[in-house]
Amino acid sequence: MIAHSFRGEVFGPAQRLHGATFLVDATFKRAELDSDNIVVDIGLATQELNKVLAAFNYRNLDEEPQFKGINTSTEFLAKHIADQLAEKIAEGALGEGAHGIDAIAVTLHESHVAWASYERALRPTG
């Protein structure tokens, strides 16, 4: 749950401060399963995703220094979350097996009819 506003006529009434509630899906992709026959440790992935989201949940993003001057669109937030998860993988926070992940896709659902996704490739480190 966040609050934010946008700059630019393309955003119409969303230029005013408004709230948004998102359902967030993170998808981890790899060409081959790891030695435990999994893509990623789902428990660790959930834990780290929750940490990433906690950094801006229940906040007005217009007031957060990391988002100063940025239109925090659904697409931008999906990219931000994917980038944060990529950093978590690089740091080993999702376990050693996660270093074989090839890509991350993050989808933010605003409703059952409106959502946006961002997918990024990772360079496997192991």
Orientation of helix 74-91 relative to helix 42-54, angle to 10°: 130
> What does the pLDDT read at residue 126?
52
Name the residue among 27, 43, 55, 51 with its Cα closest to residue 122.
Answer: 27
Across the 126 residues of the chain, what is the mean pLDDT of every consecutive 10-residue run?
96 94 97 94 97 96 95 97 97 93 97 95 72
> What does the pLDDT read at residue 123?
76
Burial 10-28 (b: 16+ CB within 10 A, else e): eeeeeeeeeeeebeeebeb
Class of domain 20-121: alpha beta
Q: Are 4 and 66 in contact, with CB atoms under 8 Å apart?
A: no
